[in-house]
Amino acid sequence: MRIAYLCDHSPLDRNLYSGGNARIHDALRAHAGDVDILDTGWHRAEAARRLIDKLPEAVSLRARWRARLALSRIASGGVARDLAAARYDVLFGAYAFQTLANLTPPCPLVTAYTSDATQTVYRLSEVGQTFGRRFRGGSMLDAWVERHERAVFRACDLVFWPSQWLWDAALARYGLDPDRCHMVPWGANIDEAPEPEEKTLLPDTPLRLLLIGRDWFAKGGPVAFDTMNLLRDRGIDARLTVIGCVPPEFHVNEWVTVHPQLNKAVPDELAAFNAAFRAAHFLVQPSFESYGFAFCEASAHGLPSLCLRVGGVPVWDGVNGHALPPESAVADFADLIQTYLQAPERYAALSRAARDIYEKRLNWDAWGRIVAEHLREAVARKKSATG
C-alpha cells in the first residue's frame, strides 16, 4: 500500500507527542507499506501559522490547532494537491484531527485516523475536569469544535482508538459506526524490548517504587511519595526513584532518587533508565491522563503498574497491575502493595502477566499488524466499489 501520513508535526521529530507520532509512523512503515509524510505547513494559510509560532509557547500551543481548524477550508486545498501528486491507497491522520477538516481527497482512497483523545471527550472526562481550562474563551468554541470532530470522524473509513475508554466515549458522543472503529492499544515507547527476567518481591529486601514523567504533580508524584513514607512508617524499607522531573524539596528525602532527565538516545542514560525499571517492584503513577506510554514500558519490563482508573490507561487489574478508583487514598496504594509483600508468588505471577500482555498487545508491532490488516481490507473494498 502507498500511505500518505498527515499530522500537524512531522513524525521525524521523535520528541513530540511523547514519541507517539514517530511510533505510529514507524509501525505503518514496518507493517502496512510505503509511507510518505505530507507537508505539515498550512499551504495558502502558511503566513498565519508562522505568525502564531512567534507567540509565546503557552499561547501558541493552544491557539495553533484552533487556528488551523478555522482556516481548514483554505489549508485543505494544499493537502488535496499533495494527495493528487501521487496515487495513494490510504490517507492516515494522527493526533491532529484539524488537518482532516474540510478535506476532500482528489481520488478514492481509504481515510484512517488515530489519537489517544479527542478535544471534546477529554474536556468532558475526569481527566479534563481535573486540569480545567487554560484557554480563555474556549467554552465559546466548544460546540464549533465538536461539530468539526463529528464531521471528520464520521467521514473516516477507519478510526483506531487505543483504549476502550475512548472507543466507548467517541462512539456515544459522535454517533460513529462501530464497524469503522477499532480498539487497538498503542505500544511502549522503546526501540528494543528488554530480555524477560523473573521479578521477585521479598519482605527482607528494599521495596523500590518508580515514577516517570515531566510533571511531578500531574503524574501523581505526591501520592507516590506519601505511599513510600507510609510504607516506611509500617516498617517496610520502601524507596522511590523519579525519572523525568524534579520534585519540590518537601517531596524529597534520603529515600528518594531523582533523575531529572534521561535521554534514551544516549547509551549511558538509556542504561540508567533500564536499570531503574529492572530494579523497581511497582510503577506507582496515580496520574490523570488519556493514555500513558509509561505503563506500556513498565509492562515490557514485567513491572506491575499501580494507577487510577481514569482515562484510557493501559492497565488491567490482575494483568499488568491495578487501576484503583479515582477517590483512592495513599493508604489504598500502600495496602495493595503489602498484599503482594505477603504473597510473593502472587507478585511473581503478576510480573509474568505484565510481560505477557506487553508481548501480545502493548507493543507497536502488534499495533502495526492489526492496523495493516484493517487497512488492506478497507483498500480492497474501496477498489472493488470504485471499479
Are 310 and 380 within one domain? no
Which residue shows C-alpha cell 471499479? Answer: 387
Residues 264 and 305 in one domain: yes
**Per-residue model confidence (pLDDT) at position 137:** 66
Residues 345, 382, single domain; the answer is no
Q: Looking at the domain assignment, is residue 231 inside a domain?
A: yes
Residues 368 and 338 in one domain: no
How far from 117 is each of 17, 131, 136, 206, CA to CA, in Å? 12, 15, 21, 38
pTM listed for this prediction: 0.94
| 132-143 mean pLDDT | 77
Are 173 and 279 within one domain? no
The answer to whether position 181 is within a domain reads yes
What does pLDDT average to over the chain? 95
Kindly compute the dihedral angle of the four CA atoms of residues 241, 242, 246, 252, in this order, to the nearest 10 degrees: -30
Question: What's the one-letter identity of residue 72?
Answer: S
Confidence band of 129 (pLDDT split at 50, 70, 90): confident
Distances (CA, A) of 203 to 68, 197, 199, 329, 343: 56, 20, 14, 23, 10
Q: What confidence tens digit (pLDDT) does each residue in 27-49 have?
A: 999 999 999 999 999 999 999 99
**Is the same domain home to 329 and 370?**
no
146 and 253 fall within a common domain: no
Let me know if residue 327 belongs to a domain: yes
What pLDDT score was predicted for residue 187? Answer: 98
Same domain, 39 and 137: yes
- What span, in angstroms and rounded, lies between the C-alpha atoms of 101 and 67? 12
Contacts of 121 (CB under 8 A, 6+ apart): 166, 169, 170, 173
Determine the pLDDT at residue 135.
66
In a domain, 322, yes or no: yes
| CATH value at residue 217 | 3.40.50.2000
Do 136 and 231 lie in one domain? The reply is no
Domain count, the chain: 2
Do 251 and 368 sit in the same domain of this protein? Answer: no
Residue 251 belongs to a domain: yes
**Domain contains 201:** no
Q: Phi and psi (nearest 5°) for 160?
A: -110, 110
Separation of alpha carbons 65 and 124, rounded Å: 19
Residue 240 cell numbers, joined = 522511590
pLDDT (mean) for 241-245? 97
**Phi and psi, residue 260, nearest 5°:** -55, -35
Answer yes or no: is 196 within a domain: no
Please tell me whether residues 59 and 153 are part of one structural domain: yes
* Cell 484503583 belongs to residue: 324
Q: Domain limits at 176?
A: 2-187+363-386
Considering the domain architecture, whether residues 13 and 159 belong to the same structural domain is answered as yes
pLDDT at 138 over 90: no
Q: Is residue 192 part of a domain?
A: no
